[in-house]
Amino acid sequence: MSKSTGALNSNYEELMAQFKEIITLHTATSIIYWDMETKMPPKGVNLRGQQLAALSKVIHRLTTNPEIGNLLSKIEKNPNYESMDELHKRNIYLIRKHYDEQTKLPEKLVADTAKQEAIAIDVWKKAKATKDFSKFRPELEKMLDLKKQAANILMEVKKTKTPYDALIDIYEPKMTADSISSVFKALRDGLMVILQKCLASPNQPNPMALKRKIPLDVQRKISNEIVKFIEYDVESPKAGGRIDETEHPFTTGYFDDVRITTHYYEEDMTSSLFSILHEGGHAIYDQNFKQEWMFQPIGDSTSLGFHESQSRFVENIIGRSREFWTYFYPRLNKLTGNTFADLALDDFVRAINHVKPSKIRVEADEVTYCLHIIIRFEIEQDLIPGKIDVKDLPETWNEKYKKYLGIDIENDSEGVLQDIHWASGGFGYFPTYALGNIISGQLLNTMEKSIPNWKKQLANGNFGDIKKWLIKNVHQQGNLYDPAVLVKRITGENMNVKPYLDYLNNKCSWVYEY
């Protein structure tokens, strides 16, 4: 081994050791957030905010340690750098990107943002409970100001055209508001055609047939059966998951400890049922990166859009399919004491695929869901550059819901306060949901060529081959490629709305008989 090769390997190993410490602390932070949402007593919010602020300072100091910059420079300038394999180079690229961005952010701004997130989420919960945006407005204004400061700084290092593009890049690398707008226009136009066909059909499903009282302990058993089906282990001595209850369902964790949450409603079993499928899709993605990539930058998802493609694939393409319910419907009836025994399988499947404009994003059907996202995306495009102010949000929100969905919003809780994302500073996050739907359609289109009998397998209770395909083609690719590159590697094409629209149209033509 030459001297330069030895130095290259030594510097790389030291860099990865330092980054392992950073990732480990990030995973600890995620568990503190989980505790804040699930087990923390009400009085603990201020302490939790201080803990998160302190941890964020430590992480920021480690991330911006000049020694990391030193090691990166030594590696990049080493004569043998070009001989490094693809995995090593990708790790270097991702660490360099992260280091350059984080070194530009002042430590105080990072700590202030973490502390404000804990405060804003707590106030958001109270404002939502009382349906009063005015209670939340001051804390949202503080959070928005902090995120604008970060966006303006990151805009320079990320070399984006606008501050909003810098925020989008956090969640969806190398995507811009302009490119998303172009994709969303084609998506919106296609969705509106399908929506009108559904609304005009004389063959309307009966969603009220689903509104039956199911005790919460029974719903918890249903949740356990569903996660067992998708092989997300929450019960065995070697379980790497768990299910808890929160106001807003979410997934958090890393490799061997990935936790999901849901919200149970006695009169609406389907709410928790589909949130479990959705969060379960996220969880099995997080648990199936290559084990040897743990604590490396490549051992993560390439983007939140891809993460969302996995949750929506499991929730909708699998969980709302007739084939899944051919297998699971008898089990549902057994668990509920035959509560749905009078409802035929096809009537049940049509009811869970009912299309109707509604107020709440997380309860939206597949056809209208992305319209909820487009509304939020358009608002953020105006909010970040200051074309609208925080005080204008309820009015702007309500106007767009009337325009796109024909819906009248009656109070702030069912309107601008329905999501936690802005309270947690997640500006630029919302577009990933719709991008995930688009990708899920492309994945389905590609998977069908490899597993042409996937529907028959699903009807027989076999999710294994589908999951293996997802693990091989998506999960185990980790963060080896940027999202646009990974889409093309898997599907052979760029991001394209047509497969998703075709999937929806095929399903809706069966449900609505048009």
Any bridge partners for residue 309, and if so which? none
Which helix (H) or strand (E) segment holds residue 197: the answer is helix 177-200
Q: Which residues contact 391 (CB under 8 A, 6 or more apart)?
A: 137
Nearest to 124 by CA among 113, 133, 115, 116: 133
Residues of the chain by 3-state class (helix, strand, coil), percent to 5: 70, 5, 30
Q: How far is CA 440 from CA 41, 81, 179, 470, in A?
A: 38, 37, 19, 11
Q: Which residues are catalytic?
A: 279
For the four alpha carbons of 251, 253, 259 and 261, in that order, the dihedral sign comes to: negative
Burial 232-246 (b: 16+ CB within 10 A, else e): bbbeeeeebbbbeee
d(CA 55, CA 114): 9
Rounded to a whole number, what is the distance in angstroms from the first to the last CA of the chain?
69
Cα dihedral 342, 344, 347, 351 sign: positive
Q: How far apart are CA 201 and CA 199, in angstroms?
A: 6
